[in-house]
């Protein structure tokens, strides 16, 4: 669900669609990738829960629906969780990985199932969904008064589209409500793991700490922390000791090398300092350190190199 195309490029794909695309490679099993298409996923849900093909067609053709299915705030996050649930229920894959964008609203999808439930239970939604006859006629009188006021602002045509949508949606609420509950259960299931990925810079470590706190508020534990592009330590010598040797050997090639060693040791030490608080925050989750690679990661070979470091380190990684 990260809109950046860098991962697709590294996987050797021209582009990604809303359906899994197989990735050719020399490995056992199968690997596929897709990129979320919010509207296509929403359309699929409408088709699934509509009482008839005519009901689905009426909703899909509605202008109000076409707007909210791709532009309404929160829709992308909810559809991301719907796609995750869909892939999980199809049982075609042993493992599903969701790659989120590295922004502070990346975890908004955690709230998406609850938000859709709150919307369906909201008084105004129930007011708009109330049938035009019988005991709830008084509700519709109130709804009409509300809509008349709103139409002065947004226009009568937009209100007509919205009312047509709500009437067409009638009877589908329970299906969406049940689905949202199952998505919540999947997120908290033991088989679902949240893995934080960060670089050792102070700002990205702080961002990862924010994510860890958000997950904690949702009673979700971080299962692992991967720190990418770590500067390696060359030997056990401290930056201070290396600097002293560089001073003693000033003006020589060996002295220059010790200067470089001191610089690297200082950077590596600062990175570890940055990580200390985050490691404590996610404990007892393992912390896996992936070193800076000699070349940029832009293809499957580069991804495989990262994977080698991740899984080799994960077997014996300490929690801090």
Note the pLDDT of residue 107: 78
Region(s) of the chain under CATH 3.40.50.300: 193-320
3-class secondary structure per residue, 255-287 = HHHHHHHHHHHHHHHHHHHHHHHHHHHHCCCCE
Report the distance separating Cα 170 and Cα 55, nearest Å.
9
Q: Give the chain's end-to-end CA distance (angstroms, integer).
A: 30
91: left (phi over 0), alpha (psi -120 to 50) or beta: left
- How would you write the pLDDT of the chain (320 residues) with one tens digit per residue? 776 777 888 888 877 788 898 998 888 889 999 988 888 888 988 998 888 999 999 999 988 888 878 777 677 888 888 889 999 999 899 999 998 877 777 777 788 778 777 777 767 666 666 654 443 445 455 556 655 555 554 455 666 677 677 777 777 778 888 888 898 899 889 999 999 999 999 999 999 999 999 899 888 899 999 999 999 888 888 889 999 999 999 999 999 999 999 999 999 999 999 999 999 999 999 999 999 988 888 888 888 899 999 988 666 655 44
pTM over cut 0.85:
no
Q: CATH number of the domain at 193-320, please?
A: 3.40.50.300
Note the pLDDT of residue 173: 77
């Amino acid at each position: 669900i990260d809109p950046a195309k860098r991962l697709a490029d590294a996987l050797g794909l021209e582009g990604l669609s809303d359906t899994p695309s197989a990735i050719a490679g020399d490995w056992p099993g199968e690997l596929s990738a897709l990129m979320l298409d919010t509207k296509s996923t929403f359309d699929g849900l409408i088709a699934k829960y509509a009482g008839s093909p005519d009901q689905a067609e009426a909703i899909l053709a509605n202008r109000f629906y076409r707007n909210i299915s791709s532009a309404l705030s929160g829709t992308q996050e909810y559809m991301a969780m719907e796609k995750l649930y869909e892939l999980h229920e199809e049982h075609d894959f042993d493992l599903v990985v969701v790659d989120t964008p590295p922004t502070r609203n990346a975890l908004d999808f955690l709230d998406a199932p609850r938000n859709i439930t709150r919307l369906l239970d909201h008084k105004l939604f129930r007011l708009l969904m109330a049938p035009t006859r019988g005991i709830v006629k008084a509700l519709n009188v109130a709804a009409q008064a509300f809509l008349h006021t709103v139409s002065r602002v947004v226009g009568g045509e937009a209100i007509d589209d919205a009312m047509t949508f709500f009437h067409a949606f009638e009877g589908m609420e329970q299906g969406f409500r049940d689905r949202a509950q199952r998505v919540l259960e999947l997120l908290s299931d033991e088989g679902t793991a949240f893995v934080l990925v960060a670089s050792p810079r102070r700002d990205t470590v702080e961002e990862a700490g924010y994510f860890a706190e958000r997950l904690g508020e949702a009673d979700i534990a971080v299962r692992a922390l991967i720190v990418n592009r770590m500067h390696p330590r060359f030997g056990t010598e401290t930056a201070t000791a290396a600097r002293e040797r560089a001073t003693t050997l000033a003006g020589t090639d060996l002295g220059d090398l010790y200067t470089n060693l001191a610089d690297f040791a200082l950077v590596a030490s600062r990175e570890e300092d940055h990580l200390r608080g985050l490691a404590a925050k996610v404990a007892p989750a393992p912390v896996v350190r992936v070193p800076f690679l000699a070349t940029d990661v832009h293809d499957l070979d580069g991804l495989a190199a990262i994977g080698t470091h991740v899984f080799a380190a994960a077997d014996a990684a300490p929690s801090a």
